[in-house]
Amino acid sequence: MPLMVMVTRADYPDRAVARDLLLRLRLLHPQLTPTWADSAYSGVLVDWSKRSLRLTLKIVNRPPGQSGFVVLPRLMWNLICQAWHYGSAVDIDWPVPR
C-alpha cells in the first residue's frame, strides 16, 4: 500500500525529488525502516538515507541477462497493493516469486 505520493512538475528529475519524499515519509512514518526502489535510485541516495534518516533503502535490481520490461518481485507486490487499495479490477494471474 502506498504510504506517500508526491506529484511534481514533469521537468523535475525523480532523483532530485527522492530526498524530499524520503524525508517526508520518515517524518510521517517513523516506525518505517526498510524501503525499496529500483536501480535508478542507487548510489548516493542509499548512503544519504541510511546516514541522515536511518532508513534502509534497498535497491531491487533486474535479474541477470534480462532485457526489456519486467516487473521486479518487490515492485510487483507494490503494484498489487496499489491495485487492491484503489479497488482495481486488474486480475493478476502470473506466479508471484517469494
- pLDDT tens for 5-25 read 778 888 888 888 888 888 988
C-alpha span between 98 and 95 (Å, rounded): 9
DSSP string, 58-88: EEEPPPTT--S----HHHHHHHHHHHHHTT-
Residue given cell 528529475 in the structure block = 13
C-alpha span between 57 and 33 (Å, rounded): 8
| pTM recorded for the entire structure | 0.60
- pLDDT tens for 55-78 read 888 888 877 887 777 665 665 556
- pLDDT tens for 75-93 read 555 655 556 555 554 555 5
Domain boundaries, the chain: 14-85
